[in-house]
Structure 1
């Protein structure tokens, strides 16, 4: 069963069926118990009426048992012998004995001894002058009785009565259970008839409600299928006006499509810009080599080497960006950022402007990360400063923050034209050069700052730019300090 609607309808139907069956059984049990209790109460009343007659020493054959069909009565003595029964009682069960013919015995109110001679109401045996009916709760039982040829189920109540002669008799009186059986049967039949109909209604309603609820999901699926077929990431799935889970799913899907579209567009621009940037040094290098092949004396070896170096640097930058985009995690090697800055500056012997270094404390600026990638960040920042400075390039290392926010800050500043405030985020985009008139040889490919920010972010740090005190740009790299 692959349909969500079918599974939902089946599940709802099963749950409702179980609930209705449980509730129906409970109702039947309660109804049966209440009606049985009512029959027991009627039987108890009939038994106490007969017991009251016996307590007044009414003779067995003089007992008033006219209501024998509705309340059959059986009276037994202490030995379990039947001493009186209702007229026309042909069979009985559930009272302890199934005898329906009285056994020969002394009449009620006598015990076989001589009557009291002094007339004081007490005999020599100390029997009470008057009988009594037991006030204890009667014993109940279910059984059957056949009265005048009609057999039926009865609820029997057993009440004890003591005559004035001290004879204890047990009166079993029954009340018919036909009303209880008829009511329970009627309710059970109604339930058995109505339950299938109700389950069909529940299944149908659940099917329709689920279908209506899942209609937006089907719309989302169709639109995603169309987007997949057309490869048009500019399309969006329909968003329902409701605020339920399906609406949130549609919004999340559209947000995912937006991110995916931006990623694909960024990848396309990256490929286009990379192709454009690679075309220039490759064409220049090919031209020089072709000229050199035709006229060896005209070969510009320094120019060919410069183009080759530029091509090598650009290929290395593209490779690093590809690894960063693929989610490559940097290493966690402990290193001293101050020592790394000094090492990078010491290797820049051909810079146009000497770099001023300020590292107040040696060995106090430990971080964890990739030595090669962090060296690339510092080198890119120094290259950018050298490209725009008038006469000053300075780099300083210091501690930043305390406790959980402790880190190491590296600042690179120059005295050039600086970065306009509205362009301070744009310069970190790939292949972006603010001075479009600058030649590619002087201005680079526009990847250095993008690489620097990506590397800083993957090390858990930040790279920002603001105006330096000298009027130029101040780039600030912050990295979290290494743990103990």
Structure 2
């Protein structure tokens, strides 16, 4: 089943079906229990009425046993012998005995006994002793009666009954048990009617649930289908400028549409950036390669005219540009820097010591007493420092200063020069790839517009920042801030 609507409708229908079946069973059980208890109460009342008569020593033949069809009654003595039954009672189950014919004792009544054998004589003597010791009226047991379900056949009609067993003691001390029944026909009819109504209404209700779920899900997923169609069209046309429709609701689908459009915007920006990068890289590579080829061709034809220093310079420039492009490619691929401990102050001194032939000397100031260690790649951080020094050397007039200090948990490296500075409107643009300020950078100066972009990318991947501001010397001040090593 591939349709979300179908799965949702089926799932909702199954859940509702299980819930309705469970609820229906619970209702039937409660209804059956209540009606059974009610029948049991009726049987108990009938049994206690007969037991009250026995306690008053009413003879068995004169007992008022009530309506035999509604409340069939069976009375047994201590030995389980039947002493009295309702008229027209033909068969009974669920009581102490299935016999429905009173024995000989029934003709004598509850106060007298026959002499069947020696055991009966002893029993009669015992009863006489009880009668002499405790003369007066009998009593009905106040204990909770015992209930049971059974059947009774009255005047040819067999039915189910709820029987209650109540004990009564005569004035002669004879204990008799009265089984009185109450019909379960009303309970069975009520339970059957409710069950039939439930079985008849359940399919219709489940059909309604399935239809409503299908329609609601279809309406809810309609924007998803619109998003899918638009994404398919974008994939087919490769036009990343298109956007999926955003529904006016504030639900998950609307958030999905907004997130999809944000993803498309980021993808469009990334693709445009990649295209510009490829175009700019091709353009930047074309110039030194063309220059180098021209010099080599001239040298091959006229060796005396070969500009060897120029060829070497173009080769170095080409090598540096290729290294920058390779590093940018690795950074864009998500390369993570190492976690080695790097002493930023020592790294600055090492980089400056290798630039003894620079046009302008570099002043280095490392704060004492503070931890200036960071975690990261020593090679990449050295590239950042070198790029910042190259940028300062190209624009400074008389001085370049590097300061390394600890600020709280961070380590700050500042490279300041006394050049013309960077206009506020250009302070973010200069960190874009292949961007050069027209009045400040030329290809002849060796800048391809990648140094500052590389420096910021490396700083960002080390968890730091790289910003530019106005230097106290009047030029530009680039500040590298990295988290200190804990």
With the length of structure 1 as denominator, give the TM-score of the two structures: 0.93
Mapped pair 1:291 → 2:290: no
The alpha carbon displacement at 1:31 in A equals: 0.6
Q: Which moved more, 1:65-74 or 1:433-442?
A: 433-442
Q: Conserved in 2, the CA contact under 8 Å of 1:128 and 1:166?
A: no
Match of 1:240 among 217, 240, 247: 247
Match of 1:408 among 386, 406, 411: 411
Q: Conserved in 2, the CA contact under 8 Å of 1:417 and 1:472?
A: yes
Match of 2:154 among 147, 151, 162: 147
Query: Aligned in 2, Cα 1:329/1:64: closer, same or farther, shift over 3 Å?
Result: same
In 1, Cα distance between equivalents of 2:149 and 2:342: 94
- Show structure 2 runs of 5+ residues with no match: 115-128
In 2, Cα distance between equivalents of 1:289 and 1:355: 37
Map 1:103-122; keep pairs closer than 5 Å.
Answer: 103-105=103-105, 107-112=108-113
Give the structure 1 partner of residue 69 of structure 2: 69
Q: Conserved in 1, the CA contact under 8 Å of 2:9 and 2:210?
A: yes
Give the structure 1 partner of residue 321 of structure 2: 314
Q: Which moved more, 1:126-135 or 1:454-463?
A: 126-135
Give the structure 1 partner of residue 93 of structure 2: 93
Q: Conserved in 2, the CA contact under 8 Å of 1:108 and 1:163?
A: no
Match of 2:336 among 316, 324, 329: 329
The alpha carbon displacement at 1:102 in A equals: 0.7
Give the structure 2 partner of residue 196 of structure 1: 203
In 2, Cα distance between equivalents of 1:161 and 1:399: 102
In 2, Cα distance between equivalents of 1:437 and 1:470: 18
Query: Aligned in 2, Cα 1:407/1:437: closer, same or farther, shift over 3 Å?
Result: closer
After superposition, the C-alpha distances for 1:352-381 in whole angstroms (9 at most, x for unaligned) are 212222234499532222222111111111
After superposition, the C-alpha distances for 1:204-263 in whole angstroms (9 at most, x for unaligned) are 221221122112222211111111111111111111111111111111111111111111
Q: Conserved in 2, the CA contact under 8 Å of 1:24 and 1:191?
A: yes
Q: Conserved in 1, the CA contact under 8 Å of 2:90 and 2:154?
A: yes
Mapped pair 1:159 → 2:166: yes
Mapped pair 1:440 → 2:443: yes
After superposition, the C-alpha distances for 1:5-30 in whole angstroms (9 at most, x for unaligned) are 22222221221111111111111111
After superposition, the C-alpha distances for 1:397-426 in whole angstroms (9 at most, x for unaligned) are 22221xxxx232221111111111121111
Q: Which moved more, 1:372-381 or 1:158-167?
A: 158-167
Give the structure 1 partner of residue 433 of structure 2: 430
Give the structure 1 partner of residue 35 of structure 2: 35
In 2, Cα distance between equivalents of 1:343 and 1:48: 112
Q: Conserved in 1, the CA contact under 8 Å of 2:61 and 2:109?
A: no
Query: Aligned in 2, Cα 1:88/1:219: closer, same or farther, shift over 3 Å?
Result: same
SS in 2 for 1:125: helix
The alpha carbon displacement at 1:112 in A equals: 4.3
In angstroms, what is the RMSD of aligned CA positions? 2.0
The alpha carbon displacement at 1:32 in A equals: 0.6
In 1, Cα distance between equivalents of 2:131 and 2:315: 143
Q: Displaced runs of 4+ in structure 1, greater than 4 A? A: none
After superposition, the C-alpha distances for 1:292-320 in whole angstroms (9 at most, x for unaligned) are 23333322222222222211111111111
The alpha carbon displacement at 1:177 in A equals: 0.6
Give the structure 1 partner of residue 58 of structure 2: 58
Query: Aligned in 2, Cα 1:66/1:437: closer, same or farther, shift over 3 Å?
Result: closer
The alpha carbon displacement at 1:427 in A equals: 0.9
Q: Conserved in 1, the CA contact under 8 Å of 2:370 and 2:406?
A: no
Q: Which moved more, 1:375-384 or 1:60-69?
A: 60-69
After superposition, the C-alpha distances for 1:99-151 in whole angstroms (9 at most, x for unaligned) are 111100162242349xxxxxxxx996224322322222221111111111100
Query: Aligned in 2, Cα 1:326/1:435: closer, same or farther, shift over 3 Å?
Result: same
The alpha carbon displacement at 1:482 in A equals: 2.5
SS in 2 for 1:264: helix
Give the structure 1 partner of residue 82 of structure 2: 82
SS in 2 for 1:252: helix
Map 1:344-359; keep pairs closer than 5 Å.
Answer: 344-359=351-366
Give the structure 1 partner of residue 122 of structure 2: none
Give the structure 2 partner of residue 379 of structure 1: 386
After superposition, the C-alpha distances for 1:17-55 in whole angstroms (9 at most, x for unaligned) are 111111111111111111111111111121122222222
In 1, Cα distance between equivalents of 2:169 and 2:343: 110
Match of 1:389 among 373, 393, 396: 396
In 1, Cα distance between equivalents of 2:181 and 2:364: 114
Q: Conserved in 2, the CA contact under 8 Å of 1:338 and 1:363?
A: no
Query: Aligned in 2, Cα 1:14/1:360: closer, same or farther, shift over 3 Å?
Result: closer
- Show structure 1 runs of 5+ residues with no match: 114-121
SS in 1 for 2:133: coil
In 1, Cα distance between equivalents of 2:174 and 2:341: 108
In 1, Cα distance between equivalents of 2:338 and 2:174: 106
In 2, Cα distance between equivalents of 1:280 and 1:124: 136
The alpha carbon displacement at 1:188 in A equals: 1.1
With the length of structure 2 as denominator, give the TM-score of the two structures: 0.92
- Count of paired positions: 471
SS in 1 for 2:12: helix
Q: Which moved more, 1:307-316 or 1:332-341?
A: 332-341
